[in-house]
């Protein structure tokens, strides 16, 4: 790992939430509950299927512990830190996040000075470019979200790595691996002892993939490459799969998400070749996907995925 730490860049124009789910009337995005052990030394604070609450990981080894994602805002970050300290005792703490989005990493300030914060270089750079814009966008999602973000300070990592980094926790190894662009420009997965995979929003349980495609403000989602990333993760054969949101599962979860994205890719290409517009294609795919995946939540993201694939096909 390197310790380079350049000054933050200028934030990009604030993206809009047009086409994203309306969460204004939802519950406050509060991380709550006790950590649940999903494998030896690997714990998850479940999201309880609350919108904008992630699954938070706490991995404890003999000499150190790693926290994966923080929840949104300083209060959630402080709660996660408290739970990590309870499990880790006086062991050294590390923090990493699966990607820069506010519900996953905007509680990091609670860990400043209490843990070594580790990001890949792309995450750090994306936080500099987009962090302020996303903070403003999320504050506009409703009073509960704005309240959770009150007092947020965007903090730099202590360590920055390129490609892949290993953290020896003592009898337990965490491999941090850069796999983006996919869901974002700088997605990271965390693999514990070749058995437990934390994937952030690359996959979720019974939730349509979140495709943050907000042209012209943010078009970094790479839908075709996302499928390739999921193929790579399936090949790892993890026994336990921790999604960004939704229940902990096995590798079949990743296959399910891949199958949906392949369907959208193929349909978007077919409909575009048939002469349908982006709007017509998105509407057709949306209607069919709601029937095919009728038990999945947040169908508002279907159209966003369809448009991302349609546009990607247009420039390929």
| Number of CB atoms found within 10 A of residue 194's CB | 12
Residue 55: inside a domain: yes
Residue 7: inside a domain: no
- Specify which residues 168 forms β-bridges with: 173
- The enclosing H or E element of 305 equals helix 300-315
- Mean of pLDDT over the chain: 93
Contact 80, 35 (CB under 8 A): no
| pLDDT for res 152 | 98
DSSP for 3-66, please give it. ---PPP-PPPPPP--TTS---TTSPP----S--EEEETTEEEE--TT-TT---EEEEE-SSEEE
- Please report, for the domain that includes residue 228, its CATH number: 3.60.15.10
Q: pLDDT tens digits for 227-267?
A: 999 999 999 999 999 999 999 999 999 999 999 999 999 99
Across the range 110-126, mean pLDDT stands at 98
| pLDDT for res 113 | 97
Contact 257, 226 (CB under 8 A): no
Coil, strand or helix at 274: coil
The HSE-up count of residue 184 (CA atoms within 13 Å, CB side) is 26
The HSE-up count of residue 211 (CA atoms within 13 Å, CB side) is 28
Number of structural domains (the chain) is 1
Residue 15: inside a domain: no
Greater model confidence, 11 or 271: 271
Q: Is 315 exposed, middle or buried (0-12, 13-18, 19+ CB in 10 A)?
A: exposed
pLDDT at 276 over 70: yes
DSSP for 283-304, please give it. HHHHHHHHHHTTT-B-THHHHH
- Residue span of the structural domain in which 83 resides: 36-315
Contact 142, 24 (CB under 8 A): yes
Residue 114: inside a domain: yes
Q: What is the CA radius of gyration of the chain?
A: 19
Residue 158: inside a domain: yes
pTM attached to this predicted model? 0.92
Across the range 75-87, mean pLDDT stands at 98
Residue 19: inside a domain: no
pLDDT at 41 over 50: yes
Residue 24: inside a domain: no
Residue 6: inside a domain: no
| pLDDT for res 18 | 57
- Specify which residues 160 forms β-bridges with: 2, 119
Contact 38, 248 (CB under 8 A): yes
Coil, strand or helix at 117: strand
| pLDDT for res 182 | 98
């Amino acid at each position: 790992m390197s310790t380079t730490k350049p000054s933050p860049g200028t934030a990009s124009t604030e993206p809009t939430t047009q086409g994203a789910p309306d969460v204004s009337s939802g519950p406050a995005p509060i991380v709550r509950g006790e950590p649940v052990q999903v494998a030896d030394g690997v714990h998850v604070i479940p999201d309880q299927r609350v919108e904008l609450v992630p699954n938070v990981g706490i991995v404890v080894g003999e000499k150190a512990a790693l926290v994966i994602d923080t929840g949104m805002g300083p209060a959630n970050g402080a709660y996660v830190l408290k739970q990590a300290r309870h499990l880790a005792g006086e062991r050294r703490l590390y923090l990493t996040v699966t990607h820069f989005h506010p519900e996953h990493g905007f509680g990091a300030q609670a860990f400043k000075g209490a843990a070594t914060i580790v990001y890949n270089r792309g995450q750090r750079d994306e936080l500099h470019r987009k962090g302020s814009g996303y903070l403003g966008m999320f504050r506009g999602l409703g009073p509960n979200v704005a309240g959770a973000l009150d007092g947020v300070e965007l903090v730099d990592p202590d360590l920055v790595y390129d490609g892949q980094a290993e953290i020896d926790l003592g009898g337990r190894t965490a491999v941090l691996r850069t796999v983006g662009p996919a869901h974002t420009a700088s997605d990271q997965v965390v693999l514990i002892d070749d058995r437990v995979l934390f994937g952030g929003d690359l996959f979720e349980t019974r939730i349509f993939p979140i495709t943050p495609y907000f042209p012209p403000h943010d078009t970094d989602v790479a839908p075709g490459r996302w499928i390739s990333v999921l193929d790579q993760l399936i090949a790892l054969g993890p026994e336990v799969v921790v999604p960004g949101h939704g229940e902990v599962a096995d590798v079949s979860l990743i296959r399910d998400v891949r199958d949906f994205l392949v369907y959208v890719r193929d349909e978007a290409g077919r409909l575009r070749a048939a002469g349908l517009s982006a709007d017509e294609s998105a509407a057709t795919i949306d209607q069919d996907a709601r029937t095919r995946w009728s038990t999945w939540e947040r169908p508002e993201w279907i159209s966003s995925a369809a448009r991302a694939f349609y546009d990607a096909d247009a420039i390929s």
